[in-house]
């Protein structure tokens, strides 16, 4: 079903009177995103072939910003607008380093857009709206509950992600709107936060808008950021008891070619022992750009051995978008 066919509980919805900007106008800049991905796509098994979420109009000419995993390898993208229209678009860019994705609508939207705020200035405790397509009934009145680093299992790291609660149950691509109606971030994940003496609380992780600003013009003009490309191993990893454990390997990726397996433990990168995902990624990325050889020490079923992986550029392992 489309993202607008469900409703947030009334007590979680934002109220117009609680905000000093035109809330309804700001929410009209949020759109539904539906992407169709071919079955033979590299990400189809993990992310599915039909993906739905949200995006936000960010420029007067109608570019839609979303979270990249919604549109990775998509052949067709449809946008559900706040005025009821459905329009097609094409994938303009997916930036692996930030996690953002851009869609270019194939018709004029003639709708409001959100200006960028300064996510680095947002503070824990600040009131925000986590906005989904469809207005207040698909949006959550929330607060920032944490700002801290985040390491994702898919070779992804943010120096400072933003975490909000109450959580939005359909978080992918939601817009985090600040106290002046400005865009502060885009929804990426649902996680759980442990609290002493209380049950774990579901929260949303938001990708801060400030990290988009230096690369946005490049993404619009060229479809990619003008910076060195990080080496990619094609590993899905997790931390278990102070060890980096491989939870999976990407189809056709460098790690699979090097015959790494689910359950392998990564002990070191070169001569550097690693126990945390963030340190693991930093060590790999410090070796050079995509294509560099990455020496790992692996523990498997009682044996410890060294393996060198020729890293790749992730985009080269993905289906490229159709240009209309």
| Count of domains observed in the chain | 2
The domain in which residue 285 lies consists of: 235-317
17 & 130 share domain: yes
- The reported pLDDT for the residue numbered 198 is 74
Whether 145 contacts 203, CB under 8 Å = yes
The stretch 302-318 carries a mean pLDDT of: 94
CA distances to 31, 86, 131 from 83, rounded to whole Å, are: 10, 9, 16
CATH number of the domain that residue 111 is part of: 2.40.10.120
Structural domain contains residue 147: yes
In a shared domain, residues 215 and 153: yes
60-80: b (≥16 Cβ within 10 Å) or e: eebbbbbbbbbbbbbebbbbb
Burial of 223 from C-beta contacts in 10 A (0-12 / 13-18 / 19+): middle
Is residue 85 situated within a structural domain?
A: yes
For residues 80 and 181, state if they share a domain.
yes
pLDDT band at 3 (very low <50, low <70, confident <90, very high): very low
Specify the pLDDT at position 2.
44
pLDDT surpassing 50 at residue 221: yes
* 181 in the same domain as 39: yes
Question: Cα separation of 160 and 155, whole Å?
Answer: 16
Residues 207 and 246 in one domain: no
Q: Is the pLDDT of residue 274 over 60?
A: yes
Tell which residue, 117, 115, 204, has the closest CA to residue 161. Answer: 204
Residues 180 and 250 grouped into a single domain: no
What CA–CA distance (Å, rounded) separates 19 from 224?
36
Q: Is 214 part of a structural domain of the chain?
A: yes
Q: Is the domain of 27 the same as that of 155?
A: yes
- Domain ends where: 169, 202, 227? 227
Encode pLDDT of 180-201 as tens digits.
999 999 999 999 988 777 788 9
In a domain, 323, yes or no: no
Looking up residue 244, the CATH number of its domain turns out to be 2.30.42.10
In a domain, 322, yes or no: no
Share of the chain above pLDDT 70, in %: 96
Give 93-138 pLDDT, tens digit per residue. 999 999 999 999 999 999 999 999 999 999 999 999 999 999 999 9
Q: Region 48-64: what's the mean pLDDT? A: 94
Residues 94 and 136 in one domain: yes
Which region, left, alpha or beta, applies to residue 209 given φ > 0 means left and ψ of -120 to 50 means alpha?
A: alpha
Taking the C-alpha atoms of residue 213 and residue 115, their distance in angstroms, rounded to an integer, is 12
Q: Of 227, 252, 274, which one is at a domain's C-terminal end?
A: 227
Instruction: For residue 247, give the 3-state DSSP assignment.
Output: strand
User: Is residue 61 located within the same domain as residue 210?
Assistant: yes
Residue 324 lies in a domain: no
> In this predicted structure, what is the pLDDT of residue 324?
47
Domain presence at residue 74: yes
Give the CA angle between residues 239, 122, 110 to the nearest 5°.
105
Across the chain, mean pLDDT equals 94
Q: Is 204 found in the same domain as 285? A: no
In this structure, the answer to whether residues 273 and 171 fall within a common structural domain is: no
Q: What is the pLDDT of residue 4?
A: 45
Residues 23 and 140 in one domain: yes
Q: Among 227, 253, 272, identify where a domain stops.
A: 227
Neighbours of 166 (CB within 10 A): 19
Answer whether residue 306 is part of any domain: yes
């Amino acid at each position: 079903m489309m993202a607008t066919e469900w409703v947030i509980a009334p007590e979680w919805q934002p109220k117009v009177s609680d905000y000093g900007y035109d809330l309804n106008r700001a929410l009209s800049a949020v759109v539904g995103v539906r992407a169709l991905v071919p079955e033979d796509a590299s990400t189809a098994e993990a992310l599915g072939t039909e993906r739905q979420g949200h995006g936000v109009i960010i420029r007067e000419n109608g570019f839609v910003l979303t979270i990249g995993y919604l549109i990775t390898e998509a052949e067709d993208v449809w946008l559900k607008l706040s005025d009821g229209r459905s329009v097609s678009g094409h994938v303009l860019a997916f930036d692996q380093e930030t996690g953002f994705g851009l869609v270019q609508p194939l018709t004029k939207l003639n709708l409001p857009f959100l200006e960028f705020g300064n996510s680095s200035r947002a503070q824990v405790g600040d009131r925000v709206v986590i906005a989904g397509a469809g207005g207040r009934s698909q949006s959550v009145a929330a607060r920032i509950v944490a700002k801290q680093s985040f390491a994702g299992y898919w070779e992804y790291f943010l120096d400072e992600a933003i975490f909000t609660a109450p959580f939005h149950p359909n978080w992918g691509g939601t817009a985090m709107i600040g106290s002046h109606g400005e865009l502060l971030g885009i929804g990426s994940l649902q996680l759980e936060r442990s609290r002493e003496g209380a049950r774990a609380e579901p929260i949303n992780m938001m990708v801060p808008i400030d990290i988009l600003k230096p690369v946005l013009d490049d993404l619009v003009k060229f479809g990619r950021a003008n910076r060195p490309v990080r080496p990619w191993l094609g590993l899905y990893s997790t931390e278990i008891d102070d060890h980096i454990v491989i939870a999976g390997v990407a189809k056709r990726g460098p790690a699979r070619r090097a015959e790494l397996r689910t359950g392998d433990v990564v002990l070191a990168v070169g001569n550097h022992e690693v126990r945390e995902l963030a340190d693991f990624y930093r060590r790999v990325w410090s070796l050079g750009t995509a294509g560099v050889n990455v020496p790992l020490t692996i523990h498997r079923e009682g044996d410890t051995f060294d393996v060198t992986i020729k890293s790749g550029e992730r985009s080269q392992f993905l289906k490229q978008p159709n240009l209309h």
